[in-house]
Amino acid sequence: MFGNVYGLDLGTYDIKVYDKKQNAIWREKNTVAIKNEKEIFSVGDAAYEMFEKAPFNIEIIFPMKEGVISHFYDMQYLLQNLLKSERHFARGSKYVIAVPTDVTEVEKKAFYDLVIHSTARAKEVAIVERGIADAIGLGLDVQRSPGIFIANFGGETTELSVLASGGMVLNRILKIGGTTFDQAIVNHVKYYKEFLIGRLTAEQLRKAFGIFDEKGRKTLQVSGRNLVTGIPEQKEISVNLVRAAMKDPLENCMREIKVLLERTPPEVLRSIQKNGIYITGGLANLAGIAQYIEGTIGLKVNTVSKPENCAVEGLKKIIQSKELKKLTYSMMNDNYRWMK
């Protein structure tokens, strides 16, 4: 008898987990604070609270990088810590993990190793493409639909997926995400204002201004450091400066969406043109992004109230449905590709 079933959506900045026994979804920051280069000081939300505020001897680590695990042991420790007794963690559980399609088999195997070679002692590990999990979380009939286009705008990547009849037709991961936009804002403010701001401040500006919301505020006062005098101060940053900074990353995303649509088979494309594009991921909350995509691509854009939860909602439905479980594949099966 196994302990439980967990659905894991491991993002760059957030871990989303579905717990079947509790029938609940919870999320935690995907962050580890390391003291003196060796001692784990804190994990999760507590560690993220220290980001850009930690003393010199504490380093803030994000174990995920561009959709894959880059700090394996930190990620393993973090996950074990978050699945402890307060959330009724049980050994010998089953795991269903949402993974990017456009990554190597070695990178996929890291997701397997994460839970199989740890105190979790997983009984079974299955994976499903994140694009499929997103579509199920959106409430789409993945197995019967002749064509679905999903753009998942995440923390460090944008994953583009074309689905048809329950399978992946085309997939592309772009190294463009929330951090790309934030760094572009940092660079623009530094260049045009001679004013240095942190990434969290840039994120605040991005969320405050969005892309198209003309009814919102025109400026926002933020804290930073004057690069001429070297003195900390506050300065008004305009909406135009922030949106100008986001222009290039946005245009790059739109270019790649057009390329993928051009490569899509005609029958699949016809369905996408009829139903439009679906956007998910945390960056899909950015004000005006749906209107921008519609105006640039020329297709309807479908949104949901909590796009960042689509994948984990999809994992929940997969775990609860025998029919949808057919869309996953076990990484413990001898026929799995990387075991050959």
Q: What is the pTM of this model?
A: 0.90
What is the Cα 260 distance to its own chain's centre? 20
How would CATH label the architecture of 145-303?
2-Layer Sandwich (3.30)
Of 154, 158, 179, residue with least CA distance to 252: 158
Q: What is the pLDDT of residues 195-245, one digit of tens each?
A: 999 999 999 999 999 887 666 678 999 999 999 999 999 999 999 999 999
What is the model's pLDDT at position 213? Answer: 65
What topology does CATH give the domain 5-133+310-339? Nucleotidyltransferase; domain 5 (3.30.420)
As a whole number, mean pLDDT of residues 305-326 equals 94
Task: Identify residue 281 by its one-letter amino acid code.
Answer: G
Taking every pair of Cα atoms in the chain, the longest distance, rounded to a whole number of angstroms, is: 66
What is the model's pLDDT at position 67? Answer: 82
Of 102, 95, 94, residue with least CA distance to 131: 102
Rounded-to-integer distance, Cα 183 and Cα 163, Å = 32
- pLDDT above 50: residue 340: no
Report the SS3 class of residue 336. Answer: coil
Q: What is the pLDDT of residues 270-297, one digit of tens each?
A: 999 999 999 999 999 999 999 999 999 9
What is the model's pLDDT at position 80? Answer: 80
Q: What residue spans in the chain does CATH classification 3.30.420.40 cover?
A: 5-133+310-339, 145-303
Above pLDDT 70, what percent of the chain?
92
- pLDDT above 50: residue 1: no
> Which uninterrupted H or E stretch holds 266?
helix 266-275
What is the model's pLDDT at position 332? Answer: 67
